[in-house]
A and B are shown apart, each in its own frame.
Chain A
């Protein structure tokens, strides 16, 4: 390991205490090796990034350290003593906490209870001190700068808030090692900043943090060292400052990429979708815009601005109280998703775990779920046909899997997302709504998504793209709309949208009229 001879923060690496060592960690799932002979040292008091494409093995490694999975081979040493992490509970007792990629929570229990569960290890019949739980929860959430009623149930919280509760829980655990698996994906820039501030503070107290992210700028801003995984192998461990972005990307995907995002050319046609005065009290107000055939309209804004609510209203998941939706110039009534599908709409939702996939069903069934008539031409399902159609999509979308019969829940996030996109493409939609399509998807796969989205627009489809990643939004969109607190606050033509102008419009209580004339 090259890093072991380098210096960190002016300190010789040799002096640095090693908190956790992994030696020869190997993991197989159903005979497939997803992690191969990984050696890794984590120092006490460092923030260490794990980078790699989806399926590269970083989440698996994290889960092994945190006791969720057991290694097929290899050993873990904590403070030079061999440890067996048999369960998440065992990990917690050893001082290792994992913040999962998809926040796990108990939706019926209050925030304060979610924070406390599993943290204390007292007597089973010990009393729950509700007042104390509440006080603790309030102070934890205050540390994270969140004002929220901690006695309300988790159900109904945004993913960002759920994630902040997870982070608060890790804070309270007093763990020596906190592993964060893509913690920032749903967070706003301000929340990310708070998280980073706290992470640095924890590091300065001598705790270690493992940070898994796809956002290079975050890794650069936060992490002392990076370890790069590719195809289940550890490729390199280096000090962050010694690597350029291009080098990191090359190590991750094994080839050079020029710029993440392809330029996208388009010829726009007729108006495909026009919404007028769409209002849902408490959620969004008076939303009007048009999307033309072949056009990608980006919808930016902070998390919680109401973008997803608009998308859900258009698709009939939670219809608007007033306003009209017109498809190809005809005003249509969309009261439920089936109406939207009949009008040629497709919707790839943000929270795929809840709204997108049928977790326990095979990939093939997930892909063909929206096109029953294709796989059951005479009313009875033909499994051969289902498989053929699914395999065709798997090939086209480059979905990585063991078998189309595999439950989709076993695939990595990016591959699940591809399968959902494949499902909707089978319906041959004329209008596609993509809500954070690349959330939790790594750079290599992102590039594939961008190409696909571009190609879909080029084939005459109208696309509404909701994204919290500004570079992505700006690069892909022909027009960028911005929402803030339920209102449309910005409308920029491609050339006029910049990170600054979009963010300016997205910040609450400041209306910005874009100098774009595109609002026709």
Chain B
């Protein structure tokens, strides 16, 4: 691949944006450009990174999972209550329960979408609310307090098996690499792209779209379950009214910035990961700059729109972009 082709890639654009943004913030507030900041950013992103890998697959398949925050909340509550109410059981059982809960809720999404042929945006908007409601019911609206979160789980955010890198970062990296391998190097992974690129043609090519679609929702749910465990690890508590609320926005925004097309069929793990890092940096930088909480959401949203507009104009500005438009 030539340098030019490399620069044309979405990933290069995001790296440039991360650098420009960091330098900009660094000029205003030199304190930002330290290894401590890097550590904070890296600790802030694994949750989003893991959930984004699942959500990205869903979007590549030309669907969307809006219920991801509620699934995260439900999974973490199930794990947290298990740890609280059955302290004698192995800690790992809570992790397995969170995974199972996430997978099951994802399965429901996938089944409803494929069996009734309903648009996933509507289905998961419904389950976003449904799962959250059931979650209050299941948890009796009670928070799982910090003293019940097992030490091993809390430790995942602090202790490191190697090179001082905390467990949650390693888990996130492994999941991202596994997703990359799955999507780019297995037949099933490529079928997800095919379904998203042309859903009507997929069955004509012998691709069983329904099971693949269901699987994608299950994976998305399972990864939200993993993120639920990491939530408990990082924040040390689980609250039915707080955990995972609004998480869908946090997850979908970096995916879109990372170049995953909402129209399906396009998107890379690398782009998604970089999108997560960029927005992670933004979320860490705003408090450092002393931006008030009221403004943080607005600025966050503005950055997303800005990134999309820049990307669009870069792609249509060049001769190549013009030709692509003509040939379409």
Q: What is the chain A residue whose CB lies nearest that of B261? A: A108
Determine whether B89 belongs to the interface, using a CB cutoff of 8 Å to chain A: no
Instruction: Report whether B198 and A92 are in contact in the complex, using a CB–CB cutoff of 8 Å.
Output: no
CA distance A68 to B204 in the complex (A): 7
Determine whether A87 belongs to the interface, using a CB cutoff of 8 Å to chain B: yes
Q: Which of B184, B185, B206 contacts A118 (CB 8 A)?
A: B206
Q: What is the chain B residue whose CB lies nearest that of A282? A: B323
Q: What is the chain A residue whose CB lies nearest that of B201? A: A104
Instruction: Report whether A125 and B186 are in contact in the complex, using a CB–CB cutoff of 8 Å.
Output: yes
Instruction: Report whether A105 and B186 are in contact in the complex, using a CB–CB cutoff of 8 Å.
Output: no
> Interface size (A, Cβ < 8 Å)?
36
> Interface size (B, Cβ < 8 Å)?
33
Determine whether B3 belongs to the interface, using a CB cutoff of 8 Å to chain A: no
Chain A contacts with B in 77-109, Cβ cutoff 8 A: 87-89, 92, 100, 104-109
Q: Which of B205, B265, B319 contacts A88 (CB 8 A)?
A: B205
Q: What is the chain A residue whose CB lies nearest that of B328? A: A156
Determine whether A155 belongs to the interface, using a CB cutoff of 8 Å to chain B: yes
Q: Which of A100, A105, A123, A282 contacts B187 (CB 8 A)?
A: A123
* Shortest distance between the CB of A82 and any CB in chain B (Å): 22
CA distance A283 to B188 in the complex (A): 39
- Partner-binding segment picked from B95-103, B189-197, B274-282: B189-197
Chain B residues whose CB sits within 8 angstroms of the CB of A379 once the complex forms: none
Determine whether A217 belongs to the interface, using a CB cutoff of 8 Å to chain B: no
Determine whether A510 belongs to the interface, using a CB cutoff of 8 Å to chain B: no
Instruction: Report whether A113 and B198 are in contact in the complex, using a CB–CB cutoff of 8 Å.
Output: no
A156-B194 in contact given A88-B204, A118-B205, A118-B207 (Cβ < 8 Å): no
Instruction: Report whether A108 and B197 are in contact in the complex, using a CB–CB cutoff of 8 Å.
Output: yes
Determine whether A385 belongs to the interface, using a CB cutoff of 8 Å to chain B: no
CA distance A109 to B194 in the complex (A): 7
Interface string of A316-349 (1 = CB under 8 A from B): 0010000000000000000000000000000000
CA distance A117 to B196 in the complex (A): 14
Determine whether B298 belongs to the interface, using a CB cutoff of 8 Å to chain A: no
* Shortest distance between the CB of B56 and any CB in chain A (Å): 14
Chain A residues whose CB sits within 8 angstroms of the CB of B327 once the complex forms: 155-158
CA distance A69 to B328 in the complex (A): 30
Instruction: Report whether B203 and A87 are in contact in the complex, using a CB–CB cutoff of 8 Å.
Output: yes
CA distance A127 to B264 in the complex (A): 22
Instruction: Report whether B185 and A127 are in contact in the complex, using a CB–CB cutoff of 8 Å.
Output: yes
Determine whether B117 belongs to the interface, using a CB cutoff of 8 Å to chain A: no
Determine whether B308 belongs to the interface, using a CB cutoff of 8 Å to chain A: no
Q: What is the chain B residue whose CB lies nearest that of A280? A: B326
Chain A contacts with B in 255-307, Cβ cutoff 8 A: 280-283
Across chains A and B, which 3 residue pairs bring their CB atoms closest together, nearest first? A89-B206, A118-B205, A108-B265
7 additional A-B pairs beyond A106-B201, A107-B197, A108-B265, beta carbons within 8 Å, are A88-B203, A104-B201, A106-B202, A118-B205, A124-B187, A158-B327, A309-B326
A–B complex contacts, Cβ < 8 Å, 20 sampled: A106-B201, A107-B198, A107-B265, A108-B264, A108-B265, A109-B197, A118-B206, A120-B187, A123-B187, A125-B186, A125-B188, A126-B186, A126-B187, A128-B186, A128-B189, A156-B323, A156-B324, A156-B327, A312-B326, A318-B326
